Amino acid sequence: MANLINHMPASAYRHAVVALTEVTAFRSRIVRDDVTFVSMRKAPGHGLRQYVPFWRLLRQLRPAVVHTRNLGPLEMQVPAAVARVPVRVHGEHGRELNDLDGSNRRLQRVRRLYAPFVHRYVALSCDLEQYLVSRVGIAPGRISQIYNGVDAERFRPAAGPQPAISGCPFGAPQHWLLGTVGRMQGVKDQTLLAHAFVQALQQHPALRARLRLLMVGDGPLRAQAQAVLHAAGVADLAWLPGERSDVADVMRGLNCFVLPSLAEGISNTILEAMACGQPVIATAVGGNVELVDHGRTGLHVPAADAAAMAQAIAAMALEPGRAVAFGAAGRLDVERRFSLASMVGAYQALYDRQLAAVHYDRRNA
């Protein structure tokens, strides 16, 4: 969303960001100065009480398009319809922790309940598009599939030798750095990576001299991952610095990126790693298999399978030349398939088409 707002021409659309709870630090990621931010401060539970305030807000803002994202805000399509917003779009960006495989029938029914209020759906992956069609019952003609784009200028390979990561006790050429970046919470399953790292070292003792693990991010799984590493006696071979703001620099300093998630839509961190020229090991869930070309830009492993991930880690670390080739191929894929310009253009074209279909007169906006 931040990339879309920041890079869409200001002459095309103005933007307002409405958070059902709080906007929080997301505001700092928006570089445009013409964006409105509204925090609804909604209490947990169904948002019937928010319908009237949201309706009033829409009557004030008079948007041409309301675009909700993921399940939580979907119910706001109802007051948007009552407010006669010309175009109503809903995006599916990923799975809920209590519905990793999309089989939760209650959540399917909820999505089906609000479907009449939505004009157009956006699925970030082919997997999510298939979910909307086969599980929710949305007609394929109402769905557009648009991949996330990545800022390939900010996230780019190092111009020279592998750079050091600020504050990190490990670095090239003596170490081969395996890393992950992201919020350390249940669906991301970083403890699996900690277990896999331990197993890789146990199975290939020679790797202990140079293989190092970086886990960047904060959250409830950070302490659990640290405990796994400490219990195995390898805590000194790993670095868990918490949350960092220099993600692009961290990515460039790695030798391989790992995403151990239990579920994903289209992972921004995978795209950022690929843009930085990193090979990727990712669990074969959701859109991961659409981003990472197994055997060419990285490797897929089953979710929640530490042994399989350990095998993939060792394969990469023992064949560093192959890992470099994977990373170079991934960078080319970003340039060809996942550019920021392509994503922004696809959304702008979608909004334009939907408004044209309802004969919206932009001179009245």
The CATH number that domain 2-149+340-364 falls under is 3.40.50.2000
Provide the pLDDT for residue 112: 98
Contact at 8 Å (CB) between 288 and 276?
no
Q: Which residues pair with 143 in a beta bridge?
A: 121
- CATH superfamily, domain 176-336, is Glycogen Phosphorylase B; (3.40.50.2000)
Q: What is the pLDDT of residues 205-244, one digit of tens each?
A: 999 999 999 999 999 999 999 999 999 999 999 999 999 9
Residue with tokens 């843009």: 275
Give the residue-averaged pLDDT of 7-16: 95
Q: What is the pLDDT of residue 25?
A: 86
DSSP one-letter code for 117: G
Structural contact between residues 123 and 287, judged by C-beta atoms closer than 8 angstroms:
no
pLDDT tens digit sequence for 163-196: 999 999 999 999 999 999 999 999 999 999 999 9
**Alpha helices per DSSP H over the chain:** 2-7, 51-61, 77-82, 105-114, 126-131, 190-203, 221-231, 247-252, 268-275, 288-291, 306-318, 320-337, 340-357
Q: Where in the chain is CATH 3.40.50.2000?
A: 2-149+340-364, 176-336
Residue 24 makes CB contacts below 8 A (sequence gap 6+) with none
pTM of the model: 0.89
Q: Report the number of secondary-structure helices (H) and strands (E) in the chain.
A: 13, 12
How much is the pLDDT for 252? Answer: 98
The single residue listed with the structure tokens 């921004």 is 268
Q: What is the pLDDT of residues 195-208, one digit of tens each?
A: 999 999 999 999 99
pLDDT of residue 361: 87
Is the pLDDT reported for residue 264 higher than 70?
yes
Compute the CA torsion angle 322, 327, 333, 335 (nearest 10 deg). Answer: -140
pLDDT for 286 equals 93
Compare 49 and 135 and report the one with higher pLDDT.
135
Q: How is residue 152 annotated by DSSP?
A: T
